[in-house]
Structure 1
């Protein structure tokens, strides 16, 4: 975000040494014609694509980093997505030759370029991260000198599978030198298939071992489930759930969002508020910029105010016969022009090689991945834990007036910003806030690595007499004392079982709040969200979820899980809290 002082004055000497070598060269290079529409990079409140202007200074805070040659040089970013068009004129120079992997049989092994006219998602994501800068065409990436690799997990051979994730995240030949892995995928599950403790370990151990033990930085989209739980074309989230305004699907229900190695990213729009679709939850870490939909009413007769607010401008599949810019007759993708950049009729760019319609936490995630590449250029010796910490510690508090949400009976369902006992502001909408590239890069240059990880391991309590789940005035509680010497928390993972039967699709009556030894309360699962837990549990149970609200608090002491039946008007409990488990990670 724009600052009242020139942040060049705050750059470390180490950063200046990196920077000055390329400043003169940068000024001599050609520009990027569509850069002025990329409000997420530099935002002075200018007119962009959409009927509303972005709010001044709502951007990634890149400021002068690019001019000083901090562009992600030397950092390899993997894009696990639909395939990337590796020959795209604004991407080709940054694609690692023979560095990508095509999982579709019968096609070139290292060319994952989509064959479907609608397969533009990965190319749009890659452009946000690392579109080539100053080449006289198109757009610029957040990290315009980063090297890119594409892994087409969503290809012609079907959807994303476990073996494709494992290959792309750590096990594949092409993934070995990936420093940042962007994952603009996930979901708003209709039910949870919970990871077991062994499965969590089977992910986290190899993820931590990559990059010679420093660990790849895995950046992942939080999901677009604020008002939707899609299931075979239907929205399972009813209007009664939507009206409570706590968010239909919490981001922690997508199980991989809870892994310790993953940075889970929410989306902020050009007004500096939560993007209308962005999944909330305690498992968030930070926010990126995802925008809204980028339509203009002069072309598009759309309903809903957010439809005409700016989206993200980035690369598209080349040509007007495919991608977001697909306007050939009888196609099944896009049949109407929606903004000034669209189609061969555009007077801005008639190549159809770019789009102004990219949005979602799918767009927010690569903005954070790009900032991470800038951070790792400044200090390649940072571990994934260091990077996570830096991004959280330097993030900016957006939407400071975020309202708390209450049940009609007065029960607090979701707080706004809460400052934890260590003085860290946290929000279930934004995590620790919107990433700030210059602040993060500056901090990275002089950052002292975090002490060795302290892991409490999983601790569990399962009493013979399970406490009944009562009203908010009489909640069920279970407590676990953590003895491990975790001086400062980095993340909390937890799970629980109940025998409380709920009605799927109806508002969830139960509220789950985790309370730290210091008294900070994290609303891990708010009541009145979409009600569906573990598929194989007869009651409402969540085997694995995270809360990141306790950064830097002491981990030793008694942790309490509090569960209440929020709408309960009498003493007739409908179930009990059978077990509670917790794992505390920190240093």
Structure 2
């Protein structure tokens, strides 16, 4: 075992061990092994190597020795090293180290970073380096008295002993070998198309949620996602990290061990990976730095189900992800009787959910996300996903359209990328990907049992990841991950504020087939496919002080050129023919965080185009009648306000009202002319 110290003599120690199945190679030319001239014996040996990671900064590649028998893999590796050292085209073939706890790969060089104490003279620094047979490669500018130094070629693993000796020298402040760490925690697996634009099987997939862009702002630090499901493999590489797992629970057995138990107990591990896999192996969650609260729970209506929500709320969960619910009908069979069967929300579950919504997050409430269902049926049949305070998530596919199985209806709040099925009678285009790449129950007992040709088709060959996860089960924890990013950017948001923020952080997809209504809602996609970057940007903006604002501007009537809004109200005179023709609305005081969008409905003509921030919407034809209008707030702060409005029509006492994008009056081809308008902007509590 080898040690490295960061932070000086009393700093943090990282323990490294030799990886018996890895070898690091640098060719003389910098080319890959397949492109250099090798002897027959070395070429045969190279056939048993699989490249696993490249380090361009060190001009080396790490290869894995493909040998099924663990007992002989080290012997084979050493044989390969001996053969390669005789090859003129290979500069060196060395051993590889990995973190003893996490397995993260390190490549060592024969170089050092050394910082002497500020008061030590340059001459003394040089003398100490020379005494330890180190040559100065570079005097560094970012810290006083710091050097990049080289050991003689061939020093090898003795660099660690040299560093341990130097750190004890009184004049030395910091010293450690140059170690190049594998940066997998920053990377995405090539199959994770739902997080970043990528290319799979020759197809460019651009239907992601902009997660990598959002990570430049936050990766979910300080937030906790509770995944209530079946067993979760907390020993998996992506979760078995210091501080990653918090308050694990099995509410069936009332223990703190949520691990999978029976055969097929695999669903929770995959869901947890979509939400918050750490990204140190082959999968990143949407919020890779968020903590995971794994809760193994029971069936619908059970006490174990209810206790799971209370446990999450009482133990610090910020977001609760639920990828389960009542039985779905057969998505491909329109005559399945389950499509017409209502499943109510049990009182025990409802009260437990209400408890979490009210008491979680120190009174701000846990945000609860639910999978809409996979039955190609109305989501309102499901008392869980359709419960009003919950965020119901639909599934969209790798072509930016609805996944054919995904449930639909008014309760759908947003969509997240997932897999799809091939049904040429409904959609002639085949899915471009096998599904969502995520964590799998380790070894052979998960969805992917592991095999030599598994990589990129059904998962990895070790059986620790699956490429075929999907359904709204996968979409739900994806949105939970986005919410964790949102709360990391602004932890003060309430449940209702988060819901409204998500509403304003979606991309409208499939605009031709989505059937979006006047309020921007689609039965298939909710308010659209969630955009993680937009959501985080909106959350950061709302963390700033929120001012009081008002809607100002003018209203135009047929018998008056314009009337200035006063105290939120425009009123024409009592003349029976004085009617509204147009609006010019703006927010005062002006702010980059809040704007207004509006349009009017003209009798026999329909809607005008949307205008915003002071532009005229309506008609200049005094013969026309305005019979309805709608107003929507825009911008990063929009989710923190609500706009309410009402209107009276000529000759009638009835008042029409609307709010937040709803139509006031009528959007049809006929109706009574509007003569009075009232608008009010309220800050949400």
Shorter-chain TM band: 0.5 to 0.7
Larger Rg: 2
Q: Distance in 1 between matches of 2:217 and 2:193?
A: 20
CA-to-aligned-CA distance 1:228-280 (integer Å, 9 cap, x gap): xxxxxxxxxxxxxxxxxxxxx21111112232321100111110100111101
What is the aligned partner in structure 2 of residue 179 from structure 1?
318
Q: How many Å apart are 1:338 and its aligned residue? A: 9.7
CA-to-aligned-CA distance 1:172-207 (integer Å, 9 cap, x gap): 277430000001112335522445999967743652
What is the aligned partner in structure 2 of residue 165 from structure 1?
305
Residue among 423, 428, 442 paired with 1:318: 442
Residue among 495, 505, 515 paired with 1:394: 505
Q: Distance in 1 between matches of 2:523 and 2:228?
A: 26
The alignment partner of 1:370 has SS state of helix
Contact 1:313 1:356 in 2 (8 A): yes
CA-to-aligned-CA distance 1:489-518 (integer Å, 9 cap, x gap): xxxxxxxxxxxxxxxxxxxxxxxxxxxx97
Contact 1:293 1:309 in 2 (8 A): no
What is the aligned partner in structure 2 of residue 286 from structure 1?
414
The alignment partner of 1:219 has SS state of strand
What is the aligned partner in structure 1 of residue 200 from structure 2?
47
Residue among 146, 151, 156 paired with 2:290: 146
Residue among 425, 430, 433 paired with 2:528: 433
Q: Distance in 2 between matches of 1:217 and 1:211?
A: 9
Q: Quick check: which one's strand share is greater?
A: 2
Contact 1:293 1:311 in 2 (8 A): no
Contact 1:94 1:131 in 2 (8 A): no
What is the aligned partner in structure 2 of residue 487 from structure 1?
none
Aligned in 2, Cα 1:71/1:402: closer, same or farther, shift over 3 Å?
same
Is it true that 1:91 corresponds to 2:227 in the alignment? no
Aligned in 2, Cα 1:258/1:208: closer, same or farther, shift over 3 Å?
farther
Aligned in 2, Cα 1:161/1:85: closer, same or farther, shift over 3 Å?
farther
What is the aligned partner in structure 2 of residue 64 from structure 1?
213
CA-to-aligned-CA distance 1:304-342 (integer Å, 9 cap, x gap): 96466441000001112x1111379xxxxxxxx996435
Q: Per chain length, whose mean CA-contact separation is higher, i.e. which structure has more relative contact order (CA < 8 Å, sep 6+)?
A: 1
The alignment partner of 1:149 has SS state of strand
Aligned in 2, Cα 1:101/1:314: closer, same or farther, shift over 3 Å?
same
Aligned in 2, Cα 1:34/1:63: closer, same or farther, shift over 3 Å?
closer
Is it true that 1:446 corresponds to 2:600 in the alignment? no
Contact 2:188 2:283 in 1 (8 A): yes
Aligned in 2, Cα 1:165/1:202: closer, same or farther, shift over 3 Å?
closer
Contact 2:193 2:205 in 1 (8 A): no
The alignment partner of 2:443 has SS state of coil
CA-to-aligned-CA distance 1:390-437 (integer Å, 9 cap, x gap): 11111110111116xxxxxxxxxxxx11222xxxx1100000001111
Contact 1:394 1:440 in 2 (8 A): yes
What is the aligned partner in structure 2 of residue 264 from structure 1?
392
What is the aligned partner in structure 2 of residue 221 from structure 1?
371
Q: Distance in 1 between matches of 2:539 and 2:414?
A: 17
Q: Distance in 2 between matches of 1:197 and 1:313?
A: 36
Contact 2:404 2:421 in 1 (8 A): no
Q: Distance in 2 between matches of 1:35 and 1:101?
A: 30
Query: Structure 1: where are the runs of 5+ without partners?
Result: 1-26, 227-248, 295-302, 329-336, 404-415, 452-516, 521-550, 561-585
Contact 1:96 1:148 in 2 (8 A): yes
Aligned in 2, Cα 1:225/1:274: closer, same or farther, shift over 3 Å?
same
Q: TM-score with structure 1 length normalisation?
A: 0.56
The alignment partner of 2:395 has SS state of strand
Aligned in 2, Cα 1:28/1:433: closer, same or farther, shift over 3 Å?
farther
The alignment partner of 2:293 has SS state of strand
Q: How many Å apart are 1:82 and its aligned residue? A: 1.1
Q: Distance in 1 between matches of 2:432 and 2:400?
A: 15
Is it true that 1:81 corresponds to 2:176 in the alignment? no
Contact 2:441 2:464 in 1 (8 A): yes
Q: Distance in 1 between matches of 2:236 and 2:485?
A: 23
Q: How many Å apart are 1:95 and its aligned residue? A: 6.4
Contact 2:356 2:366 in 1 (8 A): no
Aligned in 2, Cα 1:434/1:315: closer, same or farther, shift over 3 Å?
same
Q: TM-score with structure 2 length normalisation?
A: 0.49
CA-to-aligned-CA distance 1:132-180 (integer Å, 9 cap, x gap): 12x3x211111000000111124xxxx34342332222x2277430000
State how many pairs are aligned.
370
Is it true that 1:341 corresponds to 2:481 in the alignment? no
